[in-house]
């Protein structure tokens, strides 16, 4: 329950901080950090335009997408306190429930009959397929390291003792951050600020959404960032008491948002055909973590 | 008269009378017979699942020996799946086939075959005598072959049928070799003899015997590299037959593999690793090829290969659990495999029936010609979407449940594993994840291209939804898909007795999924319910919000481009193009291109055909080499009558003289030996 509230709170400012960092880095003052939320509220007040090509799929797709992110959020623990849903292997449920959201966002895009949206949908499907193994290998390694298979048990048993395990945690944080970037179609893969539909991934899929639907799609994106931020926080939190953990949680979220902002400011988008290679690299990093986990648990040969 | 006799007599009588009935009556009669047999056998099967196995011995004949019938929990599970599939498939078929009312002879044949196929499949689950088993197997194969040939005026259909016929006979040859091996050693055709033989000959001999059976059954099941008949046979058959073939016929191969596992005592660890490896390859390769297909039913056929792979992963894990004395891994592996067998038969049949509806409406299976069907066929589209979600293994549907059970087994293995097996686990998990992701690509593409967007082709006839009655069995199956997804524990409880058969092989302490399976799945289904609740809540809020706002309808935003045509839409090939470029090394893409040429170009076209590399190297290449070798002897068949008479005379002379000089030949050989 605690994690749910904290993630929602973090989601309100996460994207705002990214945008603010980017604008400061490029010498502008930039909007306030709650601007994204204000945008969403404005969208909720607006009417909507639906394409005559679309069917009921287009109507329900944003809702299901949001619901999937929301339910995925319920799985995430906060330090010692469990998420609302917690069981052995809940990280599988987490990945698959996000999967159904993706499925609907893809077919929602295809429902419009727009070729560019189809293009985005095809890319989204491919990239998320390529990114999933990295997540699973990573979680599998953490399960191996701790001997548990649910988010909460893994994270509370994750003691960062040796220098190897610190290195593993840092690598894991990197992989999670990159997965978050892929999930949200952010910089190294996709430029959310581009104006050319041909080079978009996520942005082009939601070209036809408007009003309430667009609002919840954007909100889902903010939540996703905060969810992965919470996972990364959990990697390091261990068993500290709440009065330290909660400020640390927000500290980690702000720091991650800052890092994302810096990456986006100082890095160019990859060429489309390099994206696949980049995502597969993530799986290799996860494999490194796996071998590290083998070393730590003394099972290496 | 007992139930075993009535089970045999009723279909036989029905087959004799069906040809003389009117078309409409015939259909109902067939369905009545199938229902009768299904209900009869289901009662026995439910009894068996509740712990009262059915045993009966038919007297048999001099050749076969007594024919033992036995329905244990494993047979019962498969019988129930088969019965469910035939009841829904038959009901669907009643309406699907009504389009062919003007071909009464053809319908009679297919009606008889339907009864035969059902009876054969059911009896295969029960027969414990290898001689009769082969006979039933042959009846099953032949009736499936003739069922495929329903639209026999098409060349492609006949080719597909013959392909199926040959491959299923390769499978039969393997089975016959296995059975004769045992029979020649023990002198009995009874399945118990196989068990006894494997107990007296442990090690390599049992392993070889199991492998022969495994190859035989996996040709039927469609494991890679024995899958090449599926993508031809499924599209050629009528929709309800393809649904039954994909949902049930290939499952009898799985049943065979499991049955032989119960009978033959092998080194479970090594056989488990072998099955796991083959299954992982099947799973990934099947779905990789599925993505590239343009034919709706071919997509589904390749995806069957994938799902057989997932079932096989379960069997492999189960065997590894048996080999390493890990009761939880073993029980979860077999439970996952058996549950996925049911799940796949549900959603794959549903997909095939939906594809049948599409075929009825458009008279085409080429997905590139479709689009926008959701507006004309909303029910079919909805059902297809539901099944597509389930087959992609997404919660809260049934596909997720069986995959989750497999994941749980794998994760459970992590604690006790060594480095090598950990690498195996990571490999399997990664493949399962990749299968899930690829299935998402495959089915978003299929659903998106077939049902969404604008129509890509102007059909000359009206495209309309099929009748409500035809949709009835589809909705029935969809209900089960959702029920298994939301209340998996009910089905896991049913699986306790079949799984116990396997854990008893090594006397593992199996505690009916208590402690690991049931509790976790309760929470998984709670998660699914949360998901549905959140969706409903959000939809409510959305409705409230939108009620006050102005909504309007306009054309799709096409980036400033006015009056877009339907041809501009992303097609199936374009959707999978990035993917196909990335994985190009795994398949062969034949491209026929005609470029635009000259100042006034006439026409241009491109065609791409995806070809299976396994088929190329395992089927086509050996056949063409064989043909080349045999063509050396073509001079013998020279078309001249004189030569043929000469061959005849030469043969007669040889046939007459060799017995006469037999002794001389023997003497000559002895003489040679003395040298």
Residue in chain A nearest B449 by alpha carbon: A110
The pLDDT, as a whole number, for residue A160 is 65
Q: Say whether both B405 and B532 belong to one domain.
A: yes
User: Which residue from B411, B417, B551 is facing A47, i.e. has the nearest CB?
Assistant: B551
| Residue at which a domain ends, from B558, B574, B590 | B574
Radius of gyration (C-alpha) of chain A in whole angstroms? 19
B507 touches chain A (CB under 8 A): no
Strands B605-611 and B588-594 turn out to be: antiparallel
B529 touches chain A (CB under 8 A): no
Is A112 inside a domain boundary? yes
Asked if B313 contacts B432 with a C-beta cutoff of 8 angstroms, the reply is yes
CB contact under 8 A, B453 and A197: no
In angstroms, the CA A260 to CA B493 distance is 48
CB contact under 8 A, B531 and A216: no
Is B200 inside a domain boundary? no
Q: Say whether both B662 and B535 belong to one domain.
A: no
Asked if A156 contacts A200 with a C-beta cutoff of 8 angstroms, the reply is no
A67: Cβ contacts below 8 Å, ≥ 6 apart? A101, B531, B534, B535, B538
Instruction: Give the domain extent around A212.
Output: 2-9+39-296
Average confidence (pLDDT) over B11-29: 85
B557 touches chain A (CB under 8 A): yes
User: Which residue from B444, B552, B582 is facing A276, i.e. has the nearest CB?
Assistant: B582
**Best interface-test mutation with A: which of B422, B425, B427, B532 has the largest number of A CBs within 10 A?**
B422
Sorting pLDDT into bands at 50, 70 and 90, what band is B563?
low
Sorting pLDDT into bands at 50, 70 and 90, what band is B509?
confident
ipTM above 0.90, yes or no: yes
CB contact under 8 A, B546 and A44: no
The pLDDT, as a whole number, for residue B1 is 45
| DSSP assignment string, A148-164 | --SHHHHHHH----SHH
For residue A157, give both structure tokens: 């048993």
pLDDT digits (tens, 9 = 90+) for A173-205: 999 999 998 888 887 888 877 777 777 888 888
What letter would DSSP give residue A81?
B
Q: Provide, as residue numbers in chain A, all residues whose Cβ is less than 8 Å from the Cβ of B516.
A: 88
Residue in chain B nearest A64 by alpha carbon: B535
User: Which residue from B400, B426, B534 is facing A96, i.e. has the nearest CB?
Assistant: B400
Q: Does B561 have pLDDT greater than 80?
A: no
Residue in chain B nearest A58 by alpha carbon: B452
Is B60 inside a domain boundary? no
For residue B212, give both structure tokens: 């022969």
Is A25 inside a domain boundary? no
User: Which residue from B407, B531, B575 is facing A92, i.e. has the nearest CB?
Assistant: B407
Average confidence (pLDDT) over A244-255: 92
CB contact under 8 A, B448 and A111: yes
For residue A260, give both structure tokens: 């994302």
Sorting pLDDT into bands at 50, 70 and 90, what band is A8?
very high
| DSSP assignment string, B106-171 | HHHHHHHHHHHHHHHHHHHHHB-BHHHHHHHHHHHHHHHHHHHGGGTTSHHHHHHHHHHHHHHHHH
Burial of B555 (0-12, 13-18, 19+ CB in 10 A): middle
CB contact under 8 A, A46 and B429: no
Q: Say whether both B450 and B327 belong to one domain.
A: yes
What is the percent of chain A where pLDDT is above 70?
98
Q: Provide, as residue numbers in chain B, all residues whose Cβ is less than 8 Å from the Cβ of A118.
A: 448, 453, 569-570, 574-575
Is A22 inside a domain boundary? no
- Mean pLDDT over all residues of chain B? 90
Q: Say whether both B643 and B538 belong to one domain.
A: no
Is B448 inside a domain boundary? yes
The pLDDT, as a whole number, for residue B438 is 94
The pLDDT, as a whole number, for residue B420 is 79
- HSE of B507, CA atoms in CB hemisphere, 13 A: 0
* B448/chain A closest Cα distance in angstroms: 6
Largest CA distance in chain B: 108
Facing residues of B127 across strands? B69
Residue in chain B nearest A50 by alpha carbon: B553
Using DSSP, state whether B446 is helix, strand or coil.
helix
Question: How many C-beta atoms surround the C-beta of residue A285 within 10 A?
Answer: 17
Average confidence (pLDDT) over B475-498: 92
Is B123 inside a domain boundary? no
Average confidence (pLDDT) over A287-292: 90
Residue in chain A nearest B581 by alpha carbon: A273
pLDDT digits (tens, 9 = 90+) for A48-88: 899 888 899 999 999 999 999 999 999 999 877 888 888 88
What is the percent of chain B where pLDDT is above 90?
56
Residue A127's Cα: distance from chain center in Å?
A: 13
Q: Provide, as residue numbers in chain B, all residues whose Cβ is less than 8 Å from the Cβ of A116.
A: 558-559
Is A17 inside a domain boundary? no
Is B383 inside a domain boundary? yes
Is A219 inside a domain boundary? yes
In angstroms, the CA A122 to CA B570 distance is 9
CB contact under 8 A, B549 and A48: yes
Q: Where are the alpha helices (DSSP H) in A26-85?
A: 35-45, 56-75
User: Which residue from B437, B527, B553 is facing A128, i.e. has the nearest CB?
Assistant: B437
CB contact under 8 A, A137 and B408: no
Q: Say whether both B402 and B521 belong to one domain.
A: yes
**Best interface-test mutation with B: which of A75, A140, A194 has the largest number of B CBs within 10 A?**
A140
Instruction: Give the domain extent around B420.
Output: 303-546+569-574
Question: How many C-beta atoms surround the C-beta of residue A244 within 10 A?
Answer: 11
pLDDT digits (tens, 9 = 90+) for B578-632: 888 888 888 888 888 888 888 888 888 888 888 888 889 988 999 999 999 999 9
In angstroms, the CA B397 to CA A32 distance is 42
CB contact under 8 A, A66 and B389: no
Residue B483's Cα: distance from chain center in Å?
A: 23
CB contact under 8 A, B524 and A70: no
- Kindly list the distances between the CA atom of residue B274 and the CA atoms of B164, B207, B261, B494, B615, in Å, as whole numbers in the listed order: 26, 12, 13, 28, 21
* B164/chain A closest Cα distance in angstroms: 34
What is the percent of chain A where pLDDT is above 90?
48
B449 touches chain A (CB under 8 A): yes
Total tally of structural domains belonging to chain A: 1
Is A30 inside a domain boundary? no
In angstroms, the CA B462 to CA B439 distance is 32
Q: Does A301 have pLDDT greater than 70?
A: no
Q: Provide, as residue numbers in chain B, all residues whose Cβ is less than 8 Å from the Cβ of A111.
A: 374, 448, 452-453
Residue B382's Cα: distance from chain center in Å?
A: 23
**Best interface-test mutation with B: which of A86, A89, A148 has the largest number of B CBs within 10 A?**
A89
A97: Cβ contacts below 8 Å, ≥ 6 apart? A68, A71, A72, A75, B394, B395, B527, B531
For residue A187, give both structure tokens: 């910089």
Q: Does B445 have pLDDT greater than 90?
A: yes
Using DSSP, state whether B54 is helix, strand or coil.
strand
DSSP H or E run through B591 = strand B588-594
Residue A83's Cα: distance from chain center in Å?
A: 17
- Mean pLDDT over all residues of chain A? 89
Is B148 inside a domain boundary? no
Q: Please provide the size of chain B in residues.
A: 675
Total tally of structural domains belonging to chain B: 2
The pLDDT, as a whole number, for residue B594 is 84
Is B423 inside a domain boundary? yes
Q: Provide, as residue numbers in chain B, all residues whose Cβ is less than 8 Å from the Cβ of A143.
A: 411, 414
Residue in chain A nearest B426 by alpha carbon: A137
In angstroms, the CA B374 to CA B389 distance is 16
Sorting pLDDT into bands at 50, 70 and 90, what band is B638?
confident
Is A55 inside a domain boundary? yes
Q: Please provide the size of chain A in residues.
A: 301
In angstroms, the CA B312 to CA B327 distance is 18
B575 touches chain A (CB under 8 A): yes
**Best interface-test mutation with A: which of B280, B452, B553 has the largest number of A CBs within 10 A?**
B452
CB contact under 8 A, B395 and A129: no
Q: Provide, as residue numbers in chain A, all residues whose Cβ is less than 8 Å from the Cβ of B422.
A: 144, 294, 299
Is A27 inside a domain boundary? no
CB contact under 8 A, B530 and A74: yes
Strands B65-71 and B605-611 turn out to be: unpaired
User: Which residue from B440, B538, B555 is facing A51, i.e. has the nearest CB?
Assistant: B555
B15: Cβ contacts below 8 Å, ≥ 6 apart? B112, B115, B116
B577 touches chain A (CB under 8 A): yes
pLDDT digits (tens, 9 = 90+) for B212-267: 999 999 999 999 889 999 999 999 999 999 999 999 999 999 999 999 999 998 89
Predicted TM-score (pTM) of the model is: 0.94
In angstroms, the CA B102 to CA B559 distance is 51
Radius of gyration (C-alpha) of chain B in whole angstroms? 28
Asked if B395 contacts A98 with a C-beta cutoff of 8 angstroms, the reply is no
The pLDDT, as a whole number, for residue B637 is 85
Is B622 inside a domain boundary? no
């Amino acid at each position: 329950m605690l994690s749910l509230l904290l993630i929602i709170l973090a989601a309100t400012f996460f994207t705002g901080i990214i945008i603010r960092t980017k604008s400061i880095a490029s010498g502008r003052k930039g909007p306030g950090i709650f601007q994204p939320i204000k945008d969403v509220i404005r969208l909720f007040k607006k009417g909507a335009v639906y394409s005559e090509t679309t069917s009921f799929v287009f109507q329900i797709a944003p809702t299901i997408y949001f619901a999937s992110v929301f339910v995925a959020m319920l799985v995430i623990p906060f330090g010692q306190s469990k998420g609302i849903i917690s069981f052995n292997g809940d990280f599988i449920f987490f990945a698959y429930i996000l999967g159904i959201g993706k499925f609907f966002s893809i077919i929602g895009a295809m429902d419009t009959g727009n070729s560019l949206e189809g293009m985005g949908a095809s890319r989204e499907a491919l990239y998320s397929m390529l990114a999933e193994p990295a997540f699973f290998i990573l979680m599998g390694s953490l399960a191996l390291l701790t001997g548990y298979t649910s988010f909460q048990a893994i994270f509370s048993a994750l003691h960062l003792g040796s220098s190897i395990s610190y290195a593993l945690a840092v690598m894991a944080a990197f992989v999670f951050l990159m997965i978050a970037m892929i999930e949200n179609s952010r910089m190294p893969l996709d430029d959310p600020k581009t104006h050319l539909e041909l080079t978009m991934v996520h942005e082009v899929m939601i070209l036809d959404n408007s009003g309430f639907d667009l609002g919840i799609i954007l909100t889902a994106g903010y939540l996703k960032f905060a969810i992965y931020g919470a996972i990364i926080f959990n990697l390091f939190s261990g068993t500290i008491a709440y009065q330290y953990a909660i400020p640390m949680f927000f500290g980690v979220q702000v720091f991650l948002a800052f890092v994302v902002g810096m990456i986006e400011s100082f890095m160019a988008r990859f060429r489309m055909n390099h994206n696949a290679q980049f995502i597969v690299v993530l799986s290799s990093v996860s494999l490194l973590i796996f071998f590290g986990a083998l070393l730590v648990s003394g099972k290496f040969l | 008269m007992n139930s075993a006799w009535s089970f045999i007599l009723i279909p036989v009588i029905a087959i004799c009378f069906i040809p003389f009935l009117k078309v409409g009556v015939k259909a109902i009669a067939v369905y009545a017979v199938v229902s009768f047999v299904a209900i009869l056998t289901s009662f026995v099967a439910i009894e068996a699942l509740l712990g009262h196995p059915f045993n009966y011995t038919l007297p048999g004949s001099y050749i076969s020996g007594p024919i033992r019938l036995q329905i244990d929990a494993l047979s019962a599970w498969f019988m129930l799946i088969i019965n469910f599939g035939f009841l829904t498939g038959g009901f669907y078929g009643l309406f699907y086939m009504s389009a062919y009312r003007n071909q009464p002879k053809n319908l009679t044949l297919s009606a008889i075959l339907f009864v035969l196929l059902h009876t054969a499949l059911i009896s295969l689950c029960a027969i414990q005598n290898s001689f009769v088993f082969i006979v039933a197997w042959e009846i099953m194969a032949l009736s499936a072959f003739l069922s495929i040939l329903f639209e026999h005026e098409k060349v492609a259909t006949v080719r597909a049928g013959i392909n199926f016929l040959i491959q299923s006979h390769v499978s039969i040859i393997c089975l016959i070799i296995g059975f004769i091996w045992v029979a020649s050693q023990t002198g009995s055709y009874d399945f118990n003899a196989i068990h006894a033989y494997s107990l007296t000959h442990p090690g390599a001999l049992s392993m070889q015997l199991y492998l022969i059976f495994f190859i035989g059954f996996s040709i039927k099941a469609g494991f890679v590299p024995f899958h090449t008949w599926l993508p031809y046979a499924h599209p050629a058959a009528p929709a309800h037959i393809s649904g039954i073939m994909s949902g049930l016929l290939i499952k009898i191969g799985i049943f065979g593999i499991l049955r032989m596992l119960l009978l033959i005592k092998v080194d479970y660890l090594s056989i488990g690793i072998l099955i796991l490896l083959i299954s992982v390859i099947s799973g990934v390769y099947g779905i990789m090829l599925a993505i590239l297909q343009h034919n709706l039913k071919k997509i589904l056929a390749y995806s069957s290969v994938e799902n057989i792979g997932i079932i096989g992963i379960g069997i492999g894990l189960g065997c590894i659990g048996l080999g390493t004395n890990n009761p939880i891994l073993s029980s979860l592996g077999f439970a996952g495999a058996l549950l996925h067998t049911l799940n796949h038969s549900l959603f794959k049949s549903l997909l095939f029936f939906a594809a049948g509806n599409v075929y009825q409406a458009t008279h085409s299976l080429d997905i590139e010609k479709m689009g926008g069907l959701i507006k004309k066929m909303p029910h079919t589209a909805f059902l297809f979407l539901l099944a597509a979600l389930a087959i992609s293994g997404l919660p809260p549907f049934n596909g997720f449940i069986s995959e989750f059970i497999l994941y749980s087994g794998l994760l459970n293995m992590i604690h006790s594993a060594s480095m090598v097996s950990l690498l195996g686990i990571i490999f399997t998990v990664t493949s399962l994840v990749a299968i899930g992701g690829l299935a998402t690509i495959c089915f978003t593409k299929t659903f998106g291209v077939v049902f969404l967007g604008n129509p890509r082709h102007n059909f000359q006839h009206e495209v309309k939804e099929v009748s409500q009655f035809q949709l009835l069995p589809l909705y029935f199956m969809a209900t089960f898909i959702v029920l298994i997804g939301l209340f998996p524990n009910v089905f896991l409880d049913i699986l306790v007795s079949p799984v116990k058969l396997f854990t008893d092989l090594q006397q593992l302490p199996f505690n009916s999924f208590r402690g690991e399976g049931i509790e976790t799945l309760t929470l998984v289904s709670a998660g699914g319910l949360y998901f549905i609740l959140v969706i409903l809540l959000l939809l409510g809020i959305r409705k409230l919000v939108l009620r006050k706002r102005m909504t309007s309808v306009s054309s799709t935003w096409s980036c400033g481009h006015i009056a877009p045509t339907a041809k501009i839409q992303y097609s199936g090939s374009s959707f999978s193009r990035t993917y196909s470029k990335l994985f190009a090394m795994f398949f062969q893409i034949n491209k026929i291109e005609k470029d635009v040429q000259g100042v006034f170009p006439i026409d241009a076209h491109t065609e791409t055909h995806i070809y299976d590399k396994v088929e190329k190297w395992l089927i086509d290449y050996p056949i063409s080499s064989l043909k080349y070798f045999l063509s050396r002897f073509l001079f013998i068949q020279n078309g001249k009558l004189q030569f043929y008479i000469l061959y005849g005379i030469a043969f007669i002379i040889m046939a007459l003289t060799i017995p006469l000089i037999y002794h001389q030949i023997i003497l000559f050989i002895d003489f040679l030996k003395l040298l």
